[in-house]
A and B are shown apart, each in its own frame.
Chain A
């Protein structure tokens, strides 16, 4: 009887598996760390600019998993990353307070802007974020919220509160929580001519703007601080503490800070280093 060539299949599977598991043997020589970060840093292209410089200097390769800040901190909590690099100071301090992180350090900031349809039906344009949000809520103009526990979502909720808009009661059909990243939120806003809060970096690198434009910017309250934390090796023994710390040290060093300041899209600087001020 003829049998299936099972051994051949198996070794082929093993060979393919191996090929998949080690796509880059050269890189396997050096150490690799995993950084849980936010969609805003990854999608703006900042990491594509920073990581080659860092790897060249230290030989440490960096894998970035880009999520919302809440999710990124969860990945750190579970021990699935060596470093978290996010933007929600309150949540970051809680993370360190619970013992999941070693220490929080300021790295840089960028700012949030409110984008909306050029025609600005709610007359929200201006500098004052509180006033803009009150007008949007007053006009019940469509607003897209991330609704995903991200740093931007947390900031948005803080701004509504500071503006004196009680979201519990003000919520209605005009306010849509989509539970997705910044890009999808902007896509949704663009498709439905709605207002949205976004970090400037994602906005600048976002291509599907449609009729949207920046309407509110420049308010000091729109400042968006990024922090970096080493996941605590005492909680998760496998954390690559030395290599992870070398990434943090480089980010806050003059070299790293200069590299951050040097990242531009269409001539516009996206992130402003401020490590010295914070640490």
Chain B
């Protein structure tokens, strides 16, 4: 274990352009999925928080439950949808980065929506009364609250990014781990582990964790700066 770790650390200095490409693909795929997930999940979560409709409790339970959607099941569903023999086979998207973005979007959207719903519901308790007195529509209330809670929502986005960039089950199935095309850091780790090259697998793992920490640090920095400036 220690020997593997030492070998891994010494490997990190020797990463070639291929590793950088793999890392960039991981970031591009997961970043795209989180962006799309935000476009859908933020308004959805906020609307569920402010709207009053029958079955709202059930929607909340479902959103919360889908935070734990098994990646491999999502991968399987997207695989069957995009396969040439599936309903969307004509698009020819299986084993492409786009397929990976679709699968990860399905993974992170419920997560973003569920966390947004909780945050917005809490701030609705404080501000809802005055917003309703302004006779704003539900959608306007949702937008106002989203903006008001924007700094708290950063953690939802980071959680989604963490889930996307670290999962392997879905991208492996729908991407196929094709060298130079759909190989991400996590599928590369899986492959190197299978080949018994544990130091290289561990080195890639350390690299991924370092990048995730950097992304979180940068986001926290930007958040703190804008809170001082605009908060």
**Could you list which residues of chain A lie within 8 angstroms of chain B, going by C-beta atoms?**
1-4, 6, 9-10, 12-13, 16-17, 19-21, 23-24, 34, 39, 43, 47-48, 63-66, 77-80, 180-184, 186-187, 190, 205-209, 236, 238
Give chain B residues whose Cβ lies under 8 Å from the Cβ of A2. Answer: 147
- A257 CB to nearest B CB, Å: 23
Complex: A21 Cα to B32 Cα, angstroms: 11
Confirm or deny: B223 has a beta carbon within 8 angstroms of a beta carbon on chain A. Answer: no
Residue B29 at the chain A interface, CB threshold 8 Å: yes
* B100 cross-chain contacts in A, Cβ below 8 A: 20
A residues near B21, Cβ cutoff 8 Å: 23
Q: Do residues B95 and A34 form an inter-chain contact, with CB atoms below 8 A?
A: yes
Residues of B within 8 A of A (CB): 21, 24-25, 28-29, 31-32, 35-36, 38-39, 42, 83-86, 89, 92, 94-98, 100-101, 140, 143-144, 146-147, 150, 176-181, 191, 193-198
Chain A min CB distance to B183 (Å): 11
**4 closest A-B pairs (Cβ-Cβ)?**
A183-B194, A208-B196, A79-B84, A13-B35
Complex contact A20–B39 (CB within 8 A): no
Which residues of chain A have C-beta atoms less than 8 A from B180's C-beta? 24
Are A19 and B28 in contact (CB-based, < 8 A)?
Answer: yes
Q: A3-B143, A19-B28, A65-B176 are in contact. Are A205 and B95 (CB under 8 A)?
A: no
Closest B residue, CB atoms, query A48: B179
Of the candidates B84, B140, B178, B195, the one whose C-beta lies within 8 Å of that of A238 is: B84
Task: List the A side residues contacting B31 at CB < 8 Å.
Answer: 16
Whether B177 lies near A208 (C-beta < 8 A) is no
Please, which residues of chain B bring their CB within 8 A of the CB of A206? 195-196
Q: Is the CB of A1 within 8 A of B144?
A: yes
In the complex, chain B residues whose CB is within 8 Å of the CB of A66: 177
Give the dominant DSSP class at B's interface. helix
Residues of B within 8 A of A47 (CB): 179
- What are 26 inter-chain pairs, A to B, with CB distance below 8 A? A1-B140, A1-B147, A4-B150, A9-B39, A13-B39, A17-B101, A20-B28, A20-B98, A21-B96, A21-B97, A43-B191, A63-B176, A64-B178, A65-B95, A65-B176, A65-B178, A79-B83, A80-B85, A182-B194, A183-B193, A187-B196, A190-B196, A206-B196, A207-B197, A208-B198, A209-B196
Name A185's closest neighbour in chain B (CB-CB). B194
**Given A13-B36, A78-B83, A80-B84; A43-B28 close (CB under 8 Å):** no
Contact of A23 among B25, B35, B36, B150 (CB under 8 A): B25
**Given the known A-B contacts A20-B25, A20-B101, A79-B83, are A64 and B179 also in contact in the complex, defined by CB atoms under 8 Å?**
yes
Query: A residues within 8 A CB of B42?
Result: 4
Please, which residues of chain B bring their CB within 8 A of the CB of A23? 21, 24-25, 28, 97, 181
Set of chain A residues within 8 Å of B194, measured between Cβ atoms: 39, 43, 180-184, 187
* Known interface pairs A20-B32, A23-B25, A79-B89; A207-B196 also in contact (CB < 8 Å): yes
Which chain B positions have C-beta within 8 A of A34? 95
B109 to chain A, nearest CB (A): 13
Minimal Cβ-Cβ distance residue in A for B37 = A13
Given A2-B147, A20-B32, A78-B83, are A63 and B181 neighbors across the interface (CB < 8 Å)? yes
Within the complex, the shortest CB–CB distance from A182 to chain B, in Å, comes to 8
Assess whether A79 is in contact with B147, with CB atoms less than 8 Å apart.
Answer: no
Query: When chains A and B are docked, how far (Å) is the Cα of A146 from the Cα of B28?
Result: 35
Q: Across the interface, name the chain A residue whose C-beta is closest to B86.
A: A78
The answer to whether residues A16 and B196 also contact, given A2-B147, A79-B89, A80-B94 and a CB cut-off of 8 A, is no
Partner of A79, one of B28, B32, B85, B196: B85
User: How many angstroms from the CA of A201 to the CA of B41 in the assembled complex?
Assistant: 47
Kindly report which residue of chain A lies nearest to residue B90, judged by CB atoms: A238
Is there an interface contact between A183 and B196, defined as CB atoms closer than 8 Å?
Answer: yes
In angstroms, Cα B122 to Cα A238, docked, is 52
**Complex: A236 Cα to B89 Cα, angstroms:** 11
Smallest CB–CB gap between B160 and chain A, Å? 13
What residues of chain A lie closer than 8 Å to B29, measured between beta carbons? Answer: 20
Residues of B within 8 A of A184 (CB): 193-194
